[in-house]
Amino acid sequence: DAGVIQSPRHEVTEMGQEVTLRCKPISGHNSLFWYRQTMMRGLELLIYFNNNVPIDDSGMPEDRFSAKMPNASFSTLKIQPSEPRDSAVYFCASSRRGAESYNEQFFGPGTRLTVL
Amino acid sequence: GENVEQHPSTLSVQEGDSAVIKCTYSDSASNYFPWYKQELGKRPQLIIDIRSNVGEKKDQRIAVTLNKTAKHFSLHITETQPEDSAVYFCAASDTGGFKTIFGAGTRLFVKA
């Protein structure tokens, strides 16, 4: 298995531009998570999906952030318009929620976003 | 809201010594406590986890302990090696591992 796949790995954009980050979870996993990591705020959970349905988006910082999961193998995190303070590493993670309930989250390699 | 506090933020030990990282959590509903290791420029990876019905778990040089009454859990690394140098995150989550709250991380330096 290729693991969680994220694209792009690096993104440099100018303030005000739209940014779209992409994630492909591990096949067979039914839960997907988006995290943001910065030196100041650490690792923050932004939103998570179960069976493609958003369960909790309380971590999404502002209305400029939106996330979708149109099918089991793809999710996007969009920032529109982007601002310099959005610069961070964005991780996607997936897990398989089953009867056992306690399931490891597998992280993707992350997207390093720089907003100038 | 839910919170996980982690100490220390930085830890420097001599190779061969032990390292201990401590976390406390606020949500009584938390019942799954994973620990992740993140090397520089890489993704977090699970190294060990513990469930609320277990007080201690060990995997070679790594052990975790959990005190549900006090809402404390700790990571113990024995016989540290330079390759243990990384940032370690504790986390607490509810049943199903959905809402996972991470600690701020501990940067561990192991000096050769």
Average pLDDT on A44-72 reads 92
Q: A25-60: string of b/e by CB count within 10 Å (b at 16+)?
A: bbeebbbbbbbbbeeeebbbbbbbbbebeeeeeebb
User: B96 and A108 in contact by Cβ < 8 A?
Assistant: no
Cα B71 to Cα A30, A106, B53, B94: the distances in Å are 29, 25, 13, 14
The answer for residues whose C-beta is within 8 angstroms of residue A72's C-beta and 6 or more apart is A25, A30, A51, A52
Q: pLDDT category, A76, cuts 50, 70, 90?
A: very high
* B10 CB within 8 Å of a chain A CB: no
pLDDT in tens, A4-43: 999 999 999 999 999 999 999 999 999 999 999 998 888 9
* B58 CB within 8 Å of a chain A CB: no
- Choose the closest CB to A107 out of B44, B101, B105: B44
The DSSP 8-state label assigned to residue B107 in this structure reads E
Contact predicate B72/B23, CB 8 Å: yes
State residue A67's pLDDT score: 97
> Which residues, in sequence order, are bridge partners of residue A95?
A31
Average pLDDT over all residues of chain B: 92
pLDDT in tens, B33-91: 999 999 999 999 999 999 888 889 999 999 999 999 999 999 999 999 999 999 999 99
